[in-house]
Amino acid sequence: MTSTSALPETMYALQLVKQGAPEEAFEYRRVKVPIIKKPTDILVNVKAAGVNPAEGKFRSGNVMSISVPRTMGCDYSGVVMAKGSKVTEFEVGDAVFGVLDNLTKGPEGTYAEYIVASLGSGVIAKKPENISFEEAASLGAVALTAMQGIGIHGNFLSQDKDTKPKRVLIVGASGGIGVYATQFAKALGAQEVLGICGSKNASLVQSLGADQVFDYTSTESMDTLLSSPQYKDLEVILDCIGGDDYYNQLRPLLKPKTGVYCTAVGPIIHLGSQPAGVSDWAHVISRVVWRKFFGPCPYILFRGIPWEKMKTDIRSWLAEGIVRPVVGKDQVFDLKEGAKAHVLLDSLHASGRIILKIPSSSSSS
């Protein structure tokens, strides 16, 4: 194992100390630096961490109770500081990015100066030189979710040109998942990508490759989508928002029998943004079961994450400039301001990703 004698014994971390509103949930405190325990472990000095919608739902307690205190976060970018004896593809000093497989497990997450990643758990890859640490941290779980929905369940990864989809509609195209789903669909050969988002983000979504964008706040715009023959016979709808209304409105746009409706959220819009009770979960289960077995088209509520795609397709697209990260300047917060980042997350008005920046001088503060 590479020596860690030069590393500090403690670090700053943004810890969840109670579930609830952001202002009362977090404390910026000193904790012990995690240590390498296995030969496949990699110690990373975190430069930036992505803030995921799921983390807001767990922080709030709307989805489930979790043990505290804990350091939240699973998306990261940073620099390798030490490694176990079986780690051969990375060297000390390498700039890396990736995702920890720790969303509900805890207790050590990426809202901290140091993390231990491990080969075979989650994913870690070398950061392309043409993107910043903040941009690299924006990929993470949402990019892999987009790949699962578009590439795998949407069948865009199919090698059969006759069955490979050509037309896709993305609901919530300006959100964390949507900005990558839009780009991935184009990168994987979609001939037409349609997006639904608010008017203020329409130009962003078009710049990412969408051929047409519809404003969900405009009755006229949505009527155009729903009633125009040119938007019929879509092969894939990826829903990043959820809810029965979108399903009922948009399903008729799919190709009969073969068009796929896949969602990362399910039958309740923004599930987890409000406390979810027994009746909510019963609604989800009943709707999913009915649509899966009796619905007029394939319906997929997905949860899988294609880890290795971060190291292959996604990394290559980033390095070649085919896919670009989307991080708004007003959506980057210092680690100690993580509560403000979660306030923005809860507003549901963020475009692209929210990022926590970990100052390099914080360990000596």
Distance from C-alpha of 138 to C-alpha of 355, rounded to nearest angstrom:
7
Q: What is the pLDDT of residues 223-280, one digit of tens each?
A: 999 999 999 999 999 999 988 999 999 999 999 988 999 998 877 666 656 666 667 7
The tokens for 159 are 């090698």
Q: Does residue 141 carry a pLDDT above 70?
A: yes
Position 74 pLDDT exceeds 90 = yes
In a 10 Å sphere around its CB, with 0-12 CB exposed, 13-18 middle and 19+ buried, how is residue 336 labelled?
middle
Predicted confidence band at 304 (pLDDT cuts at 50, 70, 90)? confident
Residue 107 has pLDDT above 80, yes or no: no
Which residues, 6 or more positions from 311, have their beta carbon under 8 angstroms from its beta carbon?
Answer: 123, 125
Contact yes or no for 340/333 (Cβ under 8 A): yes
Largest CA distance in the chain: 67
Percent over 70 (pLDDT), the chain: 93
Whole-angstrom distance, CA of residue 47 vs CA of residue 60: 25
Burial (CB count <10 Å: 0-12, 13-18, 19+), residue 61 = middle
Span 296-319, average pLDDT: 91
* Domains of the chain in sequence order: 10-139+325-364 (3.90.180.10), 142-301 (3.40.50.720)
The torsion region of residue 164 among left (phi > 0), alpha (psi -120 to 50) and beta comes to beta
Q: Is the peptide bond before 256 cis (omega within 30 degrees of 0)?
A: no
